[in-house]
Amino acid sequence: MEIICIGCPMGCSLKVEVNGEQILVEGNQCKRGETFARNEVKNPTRSLTTTVRTIFEEMPLLPVRTEVEIPKEKIFEAMEVLNKVLIKDKVNCGDIIVKDILGTGCNVIATSTINGDFFSPVSKGETSADQINRFEVTVRGIKCYE
């Protein structure tokens, strides 16, 4: 198997051979390359960086990311969950948006702030009580943004 290492900025082309329990890695210029290749074979993981929708005209999308890497096989399923999230209240950078996404033990956090300076909902018919209620979405039994 040939892969490009993303463990450091070098981007080495790695050749990985798996013989039973033995994993042979060639082409790495640093130790991180060998570690990356072994993990990629055993349990590939990725960070997820995306956006979720908000009700605010001035900031219709809020950037978010996973706190740690999640299994690569769960990336698309995690995106399905995040596509259903709608932020209705102000949020600080680092706030948890989705707790324990897909049972991975990883939280999805905001990477920006929606502050009180522009707290006008897209729906002009909303009441102030609607504006301050945090959203609650349940997807496959997962309660988001508790």
Tell me, what CATH number does 127's domain have? 3.10.530.10
Tell the burial category of 99 from Cβ atoms under 10 Å away from its Cβ (0-12, 13-18, 19+). Answer: middle
Contact criterion met (CB below 8 Å) for 81 and 102? yes
**Does residue 11 share a domain with residue 75?**
no
Contact criterion met (CB below 8 Å) for 137 and 85? yes
**Does residue 59 share a domain with residue 11?**
no
Q: Which domain holds residue 10?
A: 2-42
Give the residue with greater pLDDT, 125 vs 5. Answer: 5
**Does residue 69 share a domain with residue 37?**
no
**Does residue 55 share a domain with residue 38?**
no
List pLDDT tens digits, range 58-89: 889 999 999 999 999 999 999 999 999 999 99
Please state the φ and ψ torsions of residue 34, each to the nearest 5 degrees: -65, -45
**Does residue 53 share a domain with residue 38?**
no
Report the predicted TM-score, pTM, of the whole model to 2 decimal places.
0.71
What confidence tier does 145 reach under pLDDT thresholds 50, 70, 90?
Answer: very low
d(CA 31, CA 13): 14
CA distances from 71 to 39, 43, 86, 105, 122 (A): 11, 7, 24, 11, 35
**Does residue 53 share a domain with residue 37?**
no
- Region of poorest pLDDT, from 9-13, 63-67, 89-93, 123-127: 123-127
**Does residue 54 share a domain with residue 105?**
yes
**Does residue 81 share a domain with residue 54?**
yes
What confidence tier does 129 reach under pLDDT thresholds 50, 70, 90?
Answer: very low
Contact criterion met (CB below 8 Å) for 24 and 35? no
**Does residue 36 share a domain with residue 60?**
no
**Does residue 90 share a domain with residue 30?**
no
**Does residue 79 share a domain with residue 31?**
no
Overall domain count for the chain: 2
